[in-house]
Amino acid sequence: MIISRRSVMLGAGAVGAGAALGLEVPAAPVEERPAEWRPVLFTTEAKVRRARRRVDQRLAPFHGAWLRTKDAADAALGRTYVPEQLAHHEAWFSLAKSHAQDVRSLALAYRITDEERYADKAREILRLWAADALEAPYPGQQEPHSAGLVLGRVLPIFADGHALVWDETPPGERDLIRRWFAHMITPIRRSLEIWESGTITEPVRYEPPWLDRQYFNNHLGAQNLGFLAIGLATGDHRLVQEAVQHPENPRDLKELIDGVIIMPRDFGSGGPGDVWWKDVTLTQGAPAPEAGEIWDRYRTAAGKGLHYAHIHFRFLVLQAELLKNNRLGRDWFAYTGPNGENLELPFTFYSEFLLTGNSNARTGYYWRSSVDYGLLPLYEIAHREYPGNADVRRLLESFDRVAFDSQTFGWTLLLTDGEDDLAIAPHPYPSRDETSWTFDRDDDLENWTIRNAQVTVRDGALHVAITRSDPGIVSPDLLGLSSSEYRAVEITVRNHTTDPQVQVFFISDDDPTYSASKSVTATMSTGDSDFHTYRIDLGGNPGWTGRIRQLRIDPGTGLEPGTVSFDSVRFV
């Protein structure tokens, strides 16, 4: 029998996996529970009740997050969803993540409004993905060592949406989705095996162990997140235990926290048997790590040291959150490792980069990196867990907390997890006061990031080597520029290709998603030997309103190989 959500008193909670799986559960207040177990991932019944109360009372800033969530759910109602188990892991991730976030928005909208159309659409998307995945080769098979990276990030989102509409889902449908999740264990495990002892040859050759001694690469955190989420979603006791702490899993959560979070006492010799093998701190004289940095700091190529550090830290936080929501074993937010490792330290360390927008902060190690604001929404969890941390509080009180989490939660995190003891920021975010970039320092991307291209900064210009489709360069985030004060962008460029097209995209505070409708296309000369300056009018685009958040410049389509060099980019 299916128990309708409306037939269960709102005060009731769901049975967590700790009790359902028979694992050790610390003493905690026991919530009133419905007769039927449901899986719990990111969104507990207590969080649903709090979200409903905030919506009913129109409490700021939480009601703003609800309006955004409802907008996303309403948009999803009118979409047609076509799952596809794409062979390239990044292409699959882009498609699956957007669909998974829609499922969560729909499911939470249902739980707040009791409107069954939201639950019906969420279930429809889940059924489509489950059926397609069970009939097709696993996603990301083109690069099997990367399949676990994307499966581990997307399946928890799908699973949380499924859990929220569990009571409205018939048993046969539940079983279909359970089989889908369980089916994905194999490709994740294959990824882990390749990382631990395999060899890959494309696009670069990496040999064992750990693919050229990348002992704590972010792929490993994502794989374990996938194991944990699947175990909780399907009631697989052994898989949950394997992910948390198990001698047969060399990268379980305990091993990851102890190894991924850097402490001064961790520092070794940099020799082949050391976890600091090839670290530039030892080989090139870079600044030594500080307590709380993330192991992926070394990945400074293409300006992404901060990005990779942030996403791996996210994977640790999400695993701790899943286990806490299930009251399963120890509280990993309170755990301290053998050398002092704990989850509060990275929140503190990386807060300065987010607050200042300066990648040269602290020791200056990340000066080649772009400041990545993707971690910012997770500071809602940080404040809940570490309410006395002044750096966390200052960061949250400096930004509009109604923020879109592009990696996991969409618009929902503030509504379900935000605390109500913080002052509201006077502005959406601190202004960066940046309007021009000249690329005068070798190797300094000036906080720009790259998509589908190779870049160098030499001789006073940023050189984009085009070898793939859809290349682009992306400005620093959270520019906060007035659309009425700045109406155009001026680029000084040398186009050494035969493709004359340049397309400039932008996003704003009010519409932070890139789309063709918020872009302007212009024409460049081709086969240049000298630089030319072009002024591209953006003010005539209907979307050019409010505060402009970020810019993206796509030089050509990628169909014509060659190099496009940027001497400068300026807003005018």
**184-197 mean pLDDT:** 97
- Computed over every residue of the chain, the mean pLDDT equals 91
| Residue 521: strand pairing partners | 503
Task: Return the HEC string of 185-238.
Answer: HHHHHHHHHHHHHCCECCCCCECCCHHHHCCCCHHHHHHHHHHHHHHHHHCCHH
Under 8 Å between Cβ of 157 and 101: yes
- Portion of the chain with pLDDT greater than 90, in percent: 77
What pLDDT is stored for residue 307 in this prediction? 93
**How confident is the model at residue 19, as a pLDDT?**
44
More reliable by pLDDT, 177 or 427:
177
Q: What one-letter code names the amino acid at 98? A: S
Residue 560's pLDDT is 85
Span 464-481, pLDDT tens digits: 999 888 999 999 988 999
pLDDT at 29 (0 to 100): 37
Average pLDDT over residues 394-408: 96
Query: Are the beta carbons of 533 and 570 closer than 8 angstroms?
Result: no
With 50 as the cut, is the pLDDT of residue 3 above it? Answer: no
CA-to-CA dists, residue 371 to 243, 306, 450, angstroms: 31, 6, 13
Q: Cα–Cα distance between 150 and 95 in angstroms, integer?
A: 11
Mean pLDDT of 107-132: 99
Q: Is the pLDDT of residue 432 over 90?
A: no
Q: What is the pLDDT of residue 204?
A: 85
Looking at residue 2, its amino acid is: I
pLDDT at 266 exceeding the cut of 50: yes
Q: Answer whether residue 6 shows pLDDT above 60.
A: no
pLDDT value of position 302:
63
pLDDT digits (tens, 9 = 90+) for 15-34: 444 544 444 433 333 334 34
- Candidate from 41-45, 105-109, 490-494, 554-558 with smallest mean pLDDT: 554-558
CA 327 distance to own-chain centroid: 25
Reply yes or no on whether the pLDDT at 7 is more than 50.
Answer: no
User: Does pTM surpass 0.75?
Assistant: yes
Q: Give mean pLDDT, residues 340-346.
A: 98
Is residue 476 a contact partner of residue 448, using CB atoms and an 8 Å limit? yes
Q: In the predicted model, what is the mean pLDDT of residues 290-304?
A: 84
User: Length of the chain, please?
Assistant: 572
- In this predicted structure, what is the pLDDT of residue 301? 65
8 Å CB contact between 414 and 422: no
Nearest CA-CA partner of 451 in 432, 472, 433: 472
Residue-level pLDDT at 35: 47
Q: What is the per-residue pLDDT for 36?
A: 63
Q: What percent of the chain has pLDDT over 70?
A: 93
Averaged pLDDT, 73-91: 96
Give mean pLDDT, residues 399-421: 96
pLDDT-derived band at 128, boundaries 50, 70, 90: very high
- Token pair, residue 196, equals 């631990």
pLDDT given for residue 253 in this prediction: 98
Q: Which amino acid type is present at position 298?
A: Y
pLDDT at 4 over 80: no
- Which residue in the block uniquely carries the two structure tokens 């867990």? 385
Q: How far apart are CA 426 and CA 274, in angstroms?
A: 48
Q: Is-contact 60 43, C-beta < 8 A?
A: no
Phi and psi based region of residue 443 (left: phi greater than 0; alpha: psi -120 to 50; beta: remaining): left
User: What is the model's pLDDT at position 563?
Assistant: 97
Task: Determine contact, residues 223/253, Cβ cutoff 8 Å.
Answer: no
End-to-end CA distance of the chain: 64
Least confident stretch, 53-67, 277-291, 397-411, 464-478? 277-291
Q: What is the pLDDT of residue 270?
A: 72
pLDDT at 555: 96
- pLDDT, residue 268, reads 72
- pLDDT > 80? residue 549: yes
What would the mean pLDDT of 281-299 be, rounded to a whole number? 85
In the chain, what are the domains? 6-417 (1.50.10.100), 436-571 (2.60.120.260)
Which residue, among 385, 367, 273, has the nearest Cα to 321 in the 3D structure?
Answer: 385
Between 520 and 267, name the one with better pLDDT.
520
Please, which residues have CB within 8 angstroms of residue 488's CB and are 6 or more apart in sequence? 535, 536, 537, 538, 539, 571, 572
